Amino acid sequence: MPISSPAESANQPLRDAVAIVTGGASGIGRATCQALARVGARVVVADLAQTQIDVVLADLKAEPRGDHLGLAVDVRSEADIQRLVEQTLDRFGRIDILVACAGILRGDGGTLKPLAQLATPEWDQVIDTNLRGLFLCNRAVLPAMIRQRRGDIINLSSVSGRQGRAHDAPYCASKFGVIGLSESLAAEVQQFGVRVQTVLPDAVNTAFWQQNGPVPMPPHSLPPERVADLILFMLALPPDTQILAPVIAPLQVRRRGVGKAAKNDPAG
């Protein structure tokens, strides 16, 4: 059962909020889009493939509010992110929420490997997507949120953003960077009524895991809806409250290996 969220109370604090979700066509992002739509938010589904976005939009039409938007964007592209923000403002007139879920585990064809064997393009693709992309999205929504004197940003990091792991330097570095960026930004913009929080998922059962190749999914992994429930809970907190970088993990916590053992325990 989903955890009880303040958003499901009679006050409905997220009703009519305008929420951009990057990586919104799959995994945690898709589950978050669905959760937001269920409580009456107006959702902007942002992802790479319009065909996948359209599938999510079709699902959202069954929810209480059918006024949603889907846009194909590459989070690495400054122009794409600017277009995302402009079209959201043109359609809805405001931006209340950003949930930055877009991310990858490896570069194209990449595998777990020692840093000495890592090709520069493999490094660049992960950092550009997970850290530069998140930076571009955060920066782009800030003018609207500061002007409104209100906004919520949830950035997705990982348990690999708190504990480094052998053979996975690009992903770990990107997720450590997400935490640092988020903490720095939170201190900058709280004076304007903008709240920045970070979520650190571990072992979530999504297609994201397929980037680990033949390594099997941990048997007690969480469904993405559990992370979406937590995100909704954090968004619906009173404006004077925050949760500091919570880790959400299966009750039966897997052992995170180091060295050679890490090859059998990829990032979550």
Any catalytic annotation for residue 126?
no
Catalytic residue among 110, 126, 137, 171: 171
Residue 86 C-alpha from the chain's centroid: 20
Residue 255: DSSP 8-state: P
Q: How many CA atoms lie within 13 A of 19 on its CB side?
A: 33
Tokens for 222? 């969480």
Distances (CA, A) of 96 to 19, 21, 199, 223, 239: 6, 11, 18, 26, 13
- The crossing angle, in degrees rounded to 10, of helices 27-38 and 224-235 is 50
- Say whether 260 sits in a helix, a strand or coil: helix
Distances (CA, A) of 1 to 6, 42, 79, 204, 229: 15, 24, 40, 16, 10
Tokens for 173? 């570095």
Question: Known catalytic residues?
Answer: 171
